[in-house]
Amino acid sequence: MEIRFYEEKPDIETYYELRTSVGWENFCKEQAEKALAKRDYFVIAKDGEKAVGMGSVVGDGMYMTIVDVAVRPEYQGQNIGSGIINKLVSMIEESAPDGARLSIQLIAAKGKEGFYEKQGFTALPCEDSGPALRKLIYT
C-alpha cells in the first residue's frame, strides 16, 4: 500500500462514497455539485486508484473553513488524515499574500477533536473565542 495525495476535486460518486464510509449523511446531488464547484482547494488520498480519503476548503481569503475531511475507516490511523490536513493548510498558506492574517476553522466530528488539536487547531471556547455555533435547516 502506497498512499499518495492529489490536489484533485472528487467526482460526486467518490464524494458520496467517502462520506458514507464514515457514517455521514449525504446532501442532495444538486447541493453537493454546487458546493464542490465553489470550493477553493481539494485533496484526495489514494491507494493506487482507490480514493481512501478527502478534504476540501471553502473560504474568502481571510476566513477559511476545512470541510469534508473523511478517511475510510479501514485506512484510519495511518496518518492519511494528517496528510490531508497538512496539505490543505499548506495550500491556504501558499496562496496568502504577504502580511496576511488567516483564520482556518473546522467542525470536528464527535470524538475527533483530539486529532485536530494534534494538527495545531484549538478547541473552542478558548481565551480568544467563544464556542462555535451552527444551525441546521432541512427543507
Judge whether 28 and 1 are in contact, CB under 8 Å.
no
The 8-class DSSP code of residue 91 comes to H
Dihedral of the alpha carbons of 69, 73, 75, 77, in degrees to the nearest 10: 80
Give 45-62 pLDDT, tens digit per residue: 999 999 999 999 999 999
Q: What pLDDT score was predicted for residue 130?
A: 94
Query: Is the Cβ–Cβ distance between 73 and 31 less than 8 Å?
Result: no
pLDDT for 88-126, tens place per residue? 999 999 999 999 999 999 999 999 999 999 999 999 999
